[in-house]
């Protein structure tokens, strides 16, 4: 999917090089490098959870599980070490930390996850699924943002203002993670709207004006090069799975258009054979 290209670019060109540098400096005893490393591991963990819980089952599923498990336990082990050091020396990073400014930024970051309401609230009110759900079964990203990221940001802000020993390490981790999320959003947004090929944009506009969001998401799950009969089958399967979805075009219009195209192609082939038939007969008689 085009929306995944931004995440892949951030992981390949930002996360992995930064992880190697942070590992290098962390081995030299830098606590700031360990905080940076913990934030990068949160980025890997977020992506691993989205992949393991959101991607449809495929032969790479064992790798998704290993990716998620390695990211989870690496972060837990490193953050446990940072928490122990923070309890032993709360001022290890210094006392001139802009606590109020960081707390305000983390609070705004937590509130930014409410943008999911623009997609989820209308779907819940209508008793359907969000239009961006596509072929997935649930909004995994919204679950992670509301259930993990937003509470962690708010907790880090509160602990930072109350000078809790874990406030500084947790705030540092979430700041690094928010930088990664911001880069991911900036890179993903153009890829979702501008980076598509012209044919894909035209197909998306046609589906948007013709079909219900549930039907459109089912059709978009099929790649464009697939034959028309499979795309029509996807439409019919979506009609059976979403009986409440109302198609704005004539019932079965998509399948009828496919059949009409096939008849036109067949008629063109018949006309072409009719034009060549006299030549074939003359050639056959000449050989006799």
| 153/146 Cα distance (integer angstroms) | 11
Length of the chain counted residue by residue: 288
185-221: per-residue pLDDT in tens? 665 554 444 444 444 444 444 444 444 444 444 444 4
Q: Say yes or no to pLDDT of 128 above 50.
A: yes
pLDDT digits (tens, 9 = 90+) for 75-92: 999 999 999 988 887 776
Q: How far apart are CA 179 and CA 175, in angstroms?
A: 6
Q: How much is the mean pLDDT over the chain?
A: 75
Q: What are the extents of the domains in the chain?
A: 3-193, 198-287
Confidence of residue 38 (pLDDT cuts 50, 70, 90): very high
As a whole-number percent, the residues of the chain with pLDDT over 90 amount to 36
């Amino acid at each position: 999917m085009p929306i995944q290209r931004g995440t892949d670019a951030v992981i390949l060109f930002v996360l992995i090089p930064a992880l190697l540098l942070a590992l290098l400096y962390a081995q030299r005893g830098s606590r700031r490098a360990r905080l940076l490393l913990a934030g990068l591991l949160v980025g890997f963990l977020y992506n691993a959870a989205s992949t393991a819980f959101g991607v449809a089952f495929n032969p790479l599923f064992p790798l998704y599980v290993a990716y998620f498990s390695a990211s989870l336990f690496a972060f837990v082990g490193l953050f446990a070490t940072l928490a122990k050091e923070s309890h032993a020396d709360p001022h290890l990073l210094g006392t001139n930390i802009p606590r109020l400014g960081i707390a305000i930024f983390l609070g705004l970051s937590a509130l930014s996850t409410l943008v999911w309401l623009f997609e989820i609230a209308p779907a819940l009110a209508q008793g359907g699924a969000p239009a961006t759900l596509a072929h997935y079964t649930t909004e995994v990203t919204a679950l992670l943002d509301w259930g993990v990221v937003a509470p962690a940001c708010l907790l880090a802000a509160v602990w930072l203002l109350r000078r809790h020993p874990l406030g500084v390490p947790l705030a540092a981790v979430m700041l690094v993670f928010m930088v990664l999320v911001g880069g991911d959003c900036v890179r993903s947004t153009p890829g979702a709207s501008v980076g598509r090929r012209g044919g894909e944009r035209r197909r998306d506009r046609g589906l948007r004006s013709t079909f219900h969001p549930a039907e459109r998401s089912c059709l978009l799950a099929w790649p464009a090069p697939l034959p028309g009969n499979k795309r029509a089958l996807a439409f019919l399967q979506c009609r059976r799975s979403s009986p409440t979805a109302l198609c704005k075009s004539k019932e079965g219009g998509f399948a009828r258009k496919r059949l009409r195209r096939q008849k036109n192609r067949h008629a063109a082939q018949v006309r072409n054979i009719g034009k060549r038939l006299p030549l074939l007969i003359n050639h056959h008689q000449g050989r006799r």
